[in-house]
């Protein structure tokens, strides 16, 4: 089920335009390359990759939780509508 919801997430997700933040990250990356030795750079880049992965997983999890909430609300509303009396035309009262 999670794989299906992940595909649904991927089909709807549109990344936010974060040009300023992107440029800031690239500038900081360039400065790191200039100031740190290779092992230190690798460690910092590993931390950044891990944080990016956490952020992506949280975004997907948030989408799935929202989808499940919407599904449960829809189910509850459908059950509520069926329990309400209708007039002679079939419209709910």
Average pLDDT over residues 34-56: 91
**Joined tokens for residue 82:** 């069926």
pLDDT at 59: 93
To 5 degrees, how large is the angle CA 42–CA 44–CA 46? 65
Report percent pLDDT > 70 for the chain.
Answer: 88
Average pLDDT over residues 29-39: 89
What value does the mean pLDDT of the chain take? 86
Confidence of residue 77 (pLDDT cuts 50, 70, 90): confident
Region of 90 on the Ramachandran plot (φ > 0 left; ψ -120 to 50 alpha; else beta): left
DSSP label at residue 2? H
pLDDT surpassing 70 at residue 23: yes
- Position with higher pLDDT, 89 vs 29: 29
* Maximum separation of any 2 CA atoms in the chain, in Å: 80
Q: Strand pairing partners for 92?
A: 86
pLDDT surpassing 70 at residue 90: no
What is the chain's length?
93
Contact 58, 52 (CB under 8 A): no
């Amino acid at each position: 089920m999670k794989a299906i919801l992940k595909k649904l997430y991927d089909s709807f997700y549109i990344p936010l335009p974060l040009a300023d933040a992107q440029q800031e990250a690239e500038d900081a990356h360039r400065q790191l390359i200039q100031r740190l030795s290779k092992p230190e750079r690798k460690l910092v880049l590993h931390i950044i990759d891990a944080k990016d992965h956490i952020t992506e997983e949280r975004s997907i999890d948030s989408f799935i939780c929202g989808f499940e909430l919407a599904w449960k609300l829809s189910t509850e509303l459908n059950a509520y509508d069926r329990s309400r009396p209708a007039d002679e035309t079939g419209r709910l009262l």
